[in-house]
Amino acid sequence: MNRRVPCPRLLILAWCFWLLVNWLAVLGMGGGLRAARVLVFACMIGMSLLWPMLRLSQHTAAGRTGRGPGAWRLLLDWFCLVLVLQATIWPLRLVAGWHVSQVAWLVAAIGAWGLLAGAVAAVGQRSRHGYIRAWAMVACVLLLVGEPLLMGLLNTGTAEARVAWPMRVSPIQAMWAMSTPDANWSPGPWATQIVGVFAVATVSWVLILALKRIQRARG
């Protein structure tokens, strides 16, 4: 990197505010499993939608030239968001009665889809064109709700057997299964899905950073 990547203080402050508001909502709901699930899904929305939306809406010289801390800033963002997330998710064990490994997989799921959404945002942020950034944001939305929307469309207006399949792109089904009561919980196929998403996100980031390095070398 040819310059120091600044600490995203304002982003961390906004993230803390988002988590605090949702914690207050959980307390207002009286706690319990339902409230804990609401907070977990709020964390996923923040990591995979609100954060990319913020960065894609910002004007950055790094995004236009391929220089500067653009991609590295997003990686630092992700690291800081996941770090703060720990203080929010782990206390939910007291509210929902989840097992330690169950909470760990929930954190891993939020981090994995957040990392993938960050990679999509990093690609979109490199463009000076607003429509490219808009399509990047659409891709982030589809990562989260694309499969449920497709299922809903396929099942619209039919009285026959409903169309359904185990979701492999959207985290919604995995998050719901991972946040079941402890007695009924099993990592099942969802662990493989989370690891797969994290692997895809990691490869995407390696390619993004390699391309950035090649462009810098070419001057």
> What confidence score (pLDDT) does residue 123 get?
92
> What confidence score (pLDDT) does residue 161 get?
57
Amino acid at 209: L
- Exposure b/e, 95-112, CB count within 10 A at least 16 = b: bbebeeebbebbbbbbbb
> What confidence score (pLDDT) does residue 4 get?
53
> What confidence score (pLDDT) does residue 5 get?
53
Q: State which H helix or E strand residue 201 sits in.
A: helix 190-218
Burial of 46 (0-12, 13-18, 19+ CB in 10 A): buried
> What confidence score (pLDDT) does residue 97 get?
84
Q: How far apart are CA 121 and CA 53, in angstroms?
A: 8
> What confidence score (pLDDT) does residue 140 get?
95
> What confidence score (pLDDT) does residue 16 get?
93
Condensed to tens digits (0 to 9), the pLDDT of residues 60-106 reads 544 444 444 588 889 999 999 999 999 989 988 888 888 898 999 99
Query: Which residues of the chain fall short of a pLDDT of 70?
Result: 1-7, 59-69, 157-163, 219
Question: Residue 110 in contact with residue 85, Cβ under 8 Å?
Answer: yes
